[in-house]
Amino acid sequence: MATRQTQSLAKLMRAPAIILLLIWMVVPLAMTLYYSFMNYNLLNPTGTSFAGWFNYQYFYTDPAFWESIWNTLILVLGVLLITVVGGIAIAMLIDKPIFGQGIVRILVISPFFVMPPVAALIWKNMIMHPSYGVFADIAKFFGMQPVDWFAQYPLFSIILIVAWQWLPFATLILLTALQSLDGEQMEAAEMDGAPALQRFIYLTLPHMARAITVVILIQTIFLLGVYAEILVTTNGGPGNASTNLTFLIYRAARLNFDVGGAAAGGIIAVVLANIVAIFLMRAVGKNLD
């Protein structure tokens, strides 16, 4: 009696949520697609006309385009590298029983609760500022010339800030994976004559593979769209040194009021995200089985 009725009932009950999600996704995507083929500038909103592929050509031939794609990839990879390696290291440290473990764990996780613009401003004004930042103080203490981070290493500075924000997320996920590692397996490996490094390579890492995959996939989604940190620190500069694709689109839409061009950029960003996703799933997707 049950199965067929419950199945159709289940479909019915799911439908509102799925339809809502679909509208949420499809409508903006369709509008973006539509505008990407239109000449539509907010400075001249009445002069709307069909543009063909011109918006794409215009966006593509922008001298900042390739640099921004390159910056996007470096940003994603750099942050992933720091957060995964750092996350594993911190997770293994705070997995050990220590005095004040609860407080230490909360402190480690807390950067995640600071919203991106606030975090970026703190880094900009209190840590990396060339005259009154903490880094400058340290440099002066050792008698060195303070580094003007955002002028000299703009992209690296942003990678550092974003990595600081995402490190807690990676640590948290990897810590839970680490806690589910069977203690007897470790002891068995110890009896089998495996020293600490071998135990890490042959037991801990494979055990954490799935968690690492989850961290990489989730972070990639968010890192492709990093924007606030760039806006409040370097504003994409100097030149285009810290402009990523998201920021380039922002510039087209909000500084040039070119809705058509920005929409074309948005579609390109969607394509890029999908290419990255395909590569990622090829590389690490099998860990999720």
Partner 1 sequence: MGSITLKNVRKAFGDVEVIPGVDLNIEDGEFVVFVGPSGCGKSTLLRLIAGLEDVTSGQINIDGQDVTDAGPAKRGLAMVFQSYALYPHMSVRKNIAFPLKMAKMSEAEQEKRVAHAARILNLDNYLDRKPGQLSGGQRQRVAIGRAIVREPSAFLFDEPLSNLDAALRVNMRVEISELHNSLKTTMIYVTHDQVEAMTMADKIVVLRAGNVEQVGSPMELYSKPANKFVGGFIGSPNMNFIVGEGAAKHAAHTIGVRPEHWQLSTEGGEFSGTVGVAEHLGSDTFLHIHLDDGTPIIARAEGERDIHHGDKIFLTPQDGRIYRFAENGLAI
Q: Which residues contact partner 1 (rule: CB under 8 A)? A: 182, 184-185, 187-195, 198, 202-203, 206-207, 209
Q: How far is the CB of 86 from partner 1 (least distance, A)?
A: 24
Q: How far is the CB of 95 from partner 1 (least distance, A)?
A: 19
Q: How far is the CB of 211 from partner 1 (least distance, A)?
A: 13
Q: Say if CB 37 and CB 55 are below 8 A apart.
A: yes
* 50 beta partners: 38
Q: How far is the CB of 170 from partner 1 (least distance, A)?
A: 21
Q: How far is the CB of 207 from partner 1 (least distance, A)?
A: 7
Nearer to partner 1 by C-beta: 206 or 285?
206
> Which of 182, 189, 184, 209 lies closest to 88 in space, CA to CA?
209
Q: How far is the CB of 204 from partner 1 (least distance, A)?
A: 11
Q: Say if CB 80 and CB 216 are below 8 A apart.
A: yes
C-alpha span between 211 and 30 (Å, rounded): 35
Q: Say if CB 266 and CB 56 are below 8 A apart.
A: no
C-alpha span between 112 and 125 (Å, rounded): 19
C-alpha span between 237 and 154 (Å, rounded): 7
Q: How far is the CB of 191 from partner 1 (least distance, A)?
A: 5
C-alpha span between 222 and 175 (Å, rounded): 21
Burial of 258 per CB tally in 10 Å (0-12, 13-18, 19+): buried
Looking from the CA of 30 toward its CB, the CA atoms found within 13 Å total: 6
C-alpha span between 42 and 29 (Å, rounded): 20
Q: Would strands 49-50 and 38-39 be described as parallel, antiparallel, or unpaired?
A: antiparallel
Nearer to partner 1 by C-beta: 127 or 189?
189
